[in-house]
Chain A
Amino acid sequence: MNTNYVFDIFSNFSKNLFFFIILFICINIESSLKALTFFEQASPSILSIILYICVRKLSINISNLMLFTLGILYDVLFAGNLGTSSLFFLLIKYMTQHINLKHNNNNNNNNNKDWIYFTIIFISSFFIKFIFNIFLNMKIPDFSPILFHLGITLIIFPFIVVGIKIIYFVTKLIKN
């Protein structure tokens, strides 16, 4: 009994650590993409795509505390207002879970609607973050990088989904 309990703690800890590292790498990739001329204006929000896929497609319940910590690191890395990214990630998770519930009630595995759901979730969460930033800075920023950020994230979403599916398929093949 005691051994199982200790094993559970270690298992959960290792899983948490693994996901934390994966998501932290995503933040770093997002940050480094800015060096490419194509993403000069803004880089896509890779972390929100991965979060959505983790929660909705892979049914992984990512810890709120982990999202909070990642948000803080994201803000430090991008020099944003502390707390706004944590709020953004928590909102993405919260909204994804709720839309997931409604979606499961209606019909199962309707993959075509994923993009529309992500669009709704991402834009609404981003809008809240945007409002917060306007409120904190008391200035309205230039819209072109923001629109580029939204657009490029929505465009890149299906590619990441396909990429993950391929990885999943290959892993399954290797296992078999």
Chain B
Amino acid sequence: MVSGKPSNNKSLKSGNNFNIVMILLCLFLVFLGKFDLIAIRSIKAFLSDFLAPVIFVFNKPVNEIADVLDRVKSVSSLRDENIRMKSEIRRLKVWKSKKENQVLEFLELKELLKVIPENTYDIITGRVITAPGGIFANTVLINVGKKDGISVGQTAVSSYGLVGYVVNVGLSTSRILLVIDINSMIPVYFTGSNWPAVVQGLNGEFLKIKFLSNEANLIEGEHIQTSGHGGMLPSGISVGIVVKSYSGSYYVKPSVNFQRLTYVSIIKNFNAKQDVNKTFNSYAPMQMPKGSIGLKGINSSGTRVKGSVIVE
């Protein structure tokens, strides 16, 4: 098929039919891929497993160059960075002393309310093999797979927050769909106002906010965390912060820098259904009804309380 000779009219005409057959085959494959068949997923996983070492070899020198460039850039701004860090340390020291008291208070209240302790997650960490995908898909390949207990749907996090979730698993590699991908939709809540919403990737830098109540007033810089609605992802994982665009609409800037992802942790044992089935013999603090007068010693349901203990 490959020849060093110049292509001529005759060869083109004879190849035309074959070209059309191949294009039709591509179209068939496109629609077949859309059905998300297990066989196709397995083939993809196998190919990812097979290609992983090659990708790693090719990515290694470029990653090293990128690291060197980053180091050079950081050296030039070292002095400014040092001044900034010193002021940050002072600020954090003040914050730490305040926080220590609050933590004690929080633990006491938690004990008092008999809050079910959150599950300690079983986490496995893998190295990212590829840089985030192309222009139509944003995914990364990591070097842990089925043999390490990874399965489709598990949550991927980094030290900064939510990375995405597992969409395809091979024997020794897994593919993670990043939150910035157009097919990713994450149920979240705004930490400042508690409004729930859904954030959707745009295949770009920011996430779009969807299904947000009209009553919600967004604040620039407000933190967003996973709400855990739907039971697919654990709650309380940082997703990003609210940013305002020049046009005045609000977007979410992810807390994770996907370009600099080196290691990703997979939460293996999260199962929302398990929590629901647990016997629950405590209560969550009730919200005060609007316009009600709070009487000392009587809670909003009308039960007399003595100190912090309910008298029935």
Contacts and interface: CB of A to CB of B under 8 A. Distances in A.
Interface of A: 12, 15-16, 19, 25, 28-29, 31-37, 40-43, 55, 59-68, 71-73, 76-84, 86-87, 90-91, 93-94, 97, 100-101, 132-133, 136-137, 139, 141-142, 144-146, 149
Contacts of B287: none
A141 B11 contact: no
Given A35-B62, A82-B33, A55 B54 contact: no
Contacts of B12: 97, 101
Given A90-B23, A141-B204, A142-B204, A80 B30 contact: no
Contact of A80 (B15, B22, B131, B136): B136
Interface in B40-83: 40, 44, 47-48, 51, 54-55, 58-59, 61-63, 65-66, 69-70
A77 B3 CA distance: 28
B134 A83 contact: no
B283 interface: no
A79 B59 contact: no
A83 B27 contact: yes
B309 interface: no
17 contacts: A12-B1, A16-B1, A29-B58, A33-B62, A34-B130, A34-B131, A62-B2, A63-B2, A73-B47, A73-B51, A81-B137, A84-B26, A90-B23, A141-B136, A142-B204, A144-B204, A149-B135
B187 interface: no
B29 interface: yes
Which residue, of B18, B54, B58, has the highest number of chain A Cβ atoms within 10 A? B58
B237 interface: no
A42 B204 contact: no
The secondary structure that dominates the A interface is helix
Given A77-B130, A141-B203, A31 B2 contact: no
B225 interface: no
A34 B1 contact: no
B202 A42 contact: no
Interface of B: 1-7, 9, 11-12, 15, 18-19, 22-23, 25-30, 32-34, 40, 44, 47-48, 51, 54-55, 58-59, 61-63, 65-66, 69-70, 130-137, 139, 168, 175, 177, 182-183, 202-205, 259
Nearest to A25: B58
| Top 6 A-B residue pairs of the complex, sorted by shortest distance between their CB atoms | A142-B204, A63-B1, A83-B29, A34-B131, A82-B33, A59-B6
Given A137-B182, A141-B182, A87 B23 contact: yes
Contacts of B28: 83
A145 B201 CA distance: 13
B30 A83 contact: yes
Contacts of A141: 135-136, 182, 202-204
Contacts of A87: 23, 26-27, 30
B16 to A, nearest CB: 8
Contacts of B1: 12, 16, 61-66
Nearest to B45: A76
B143 to A, nearest CB: 15
Interface centre among B1, B183, B259 (most CB of A within 10 A): B1
Contacts of A136: 30, 34
A139 B182 contact: yes
Contacts of B4: 15, 59-60
Nearest to B168: A79
B135 A146 contact: yes
Most buried by B among A59, A90, A141: A141
Contacts of B69: 36-37
Contacts of B66: 35-37
Nearest to A43: B134
Contacts of A59: 4-7
Contact of B34 (A32, A77, A81, A90): A81
Given A31-B58, A77-B55, A42 B19 contact: no
A137 B34 CA distance: 9
Contact of B62 (A36, A86, A91): A36
Contact of A133 (B63, B131, B136): B136
Given A16-B1, A144-B204, A76 B132 contact: no
A12 B1 CA distance: 7
